[in-house]
Amino acid sequence: MTKHTILFLAANPTGSSPLALDREARAIHVELERSGYRDQFEFVTRWAVEPMDLLRELRKLRPTVVHFSGHGQKAAAAASPMSSGASGSQLHGSTQASNQGAAGGMYFHAADGRAQLVAASAIEQTFGAAGSSVRLVVLNACYSAAQAEALLLHVDCVVGMSGAISDAAARHFAVGFYGGLGERETVSAAYQQGRAAIALEGLRDDDLPQLAVRTGIDAARLVLAASPT
């Protein structure tokens, strides 16, 4: 039986709006533990991640799923170079944001704990260099849909957010999504269940998660959990 590693990467740097990332990780873990195929997944968390942690953990763990939870930066030049995050709040103290903001990306922790923007192109390059095991990426951060599209060069399916998603909506999407994967649903069905979980809570962000699929891949047939033996 193949066991699939889900790598949860959390980044909430100093100066960024606070996110309940611990609650999100706990909620995913609890939902997977309730699922019928829980023994086929290993949920691994990494906190306060710095840019090099992405490369190191891809090499070390060879995960099937990578989940990034934190703040994203949209690529649109019209956006404020420091505005983003799970609640659309402003980030402060990133010395690299002004240089890389036009390209979009994700915020990691710098060595001093402040926000360091890692460009979408650098993230894509890293997955190309060390992410051959990864089939699914979830970017549970604001304005990450463009980054999701870029990762399709190397990953079958990527979920990104088309706007500023609230902390609660991001968490409920994750619960619905991983609950579906844990019940051996297809990636497409799990994605729809994640959106439904947002709607069930009466939140208005259910249209923000976007599933991008690589050409030649059918998300309606892709099941990550191994077949029972």
Unique residue bearing structure tokens 């190191």: 56
89: which 2 tokens? 């709040």
**pLDDT digit string (tens) for the chain, length 229 residues:** 679 999 999 999 999 999 999 999 999 999 999 999 999 999 999 999 999 999 999 999 999 999 999 999 987 543 443 334 443 333 433 334 444 445 589 999 999 999 999 999 999 999 999 999 999 999 999 999 989 999 999 999 999 999 999 999 999 999 999 999 999 999 999 999 999 999 999 999 999 999 999 999 999 999 998 655 4
pTM (2 decimals)?
0.89
Unique residue bearing structure tokens 């579906």: 180
Q: What is the pLDDT of residue 226?
A: 65
Cα–Cα dist 195/174, whole Å = 9
The dihedrals phi and psi of 93, each to the nearest 5 degrees, come to: 90, 5
Computed over its alpha carbons, how large is the radius of gyration of the chain?
Answer: 16
Identify whether the C-beta of residue 217 lies closer than 8 Å to the C-beta of residue 157: yes
Cα–Cα dist 127/171, whole Å = 24
Cα–Cα dist 20/131, whole Å = 27
- What the chain holds in terms of domains, given with CATH numbers, is 4-213 (3.40.50.1460)
Cα-to-chain-centroid distance, residue 189? 17
Q: What is the pLDDT of residue 225?
A: 86
Identify whether the C-beta of residue 136 lies closer than 8 Å to the C-beta of residue 117: no
Cα–Cα dist 181/146, whole Å = 24
Q: Which helix (H) or strand (E) holds 52?
A: helix 51-61
Cα–Cα dist 135/142, whole Å = 21
The dihedrals phi and psi of 203, each to the nearest 5 degrees, come to: -90, 160
DSSP secondary structure letters along 134-191: --EEEEESTT-HHHHHHHTTT-SEEEEESS---HHHHHHHHHHHHHHHHTT--HHHHH
Classified as helix, coil or strand, 19 is coil
Number of Cβ within a 10 Å radius of residue 223: 14
Cα–Cα dist 173/195, whole Å = 6
Cα–Cα dist 35/116, whole Å = 36
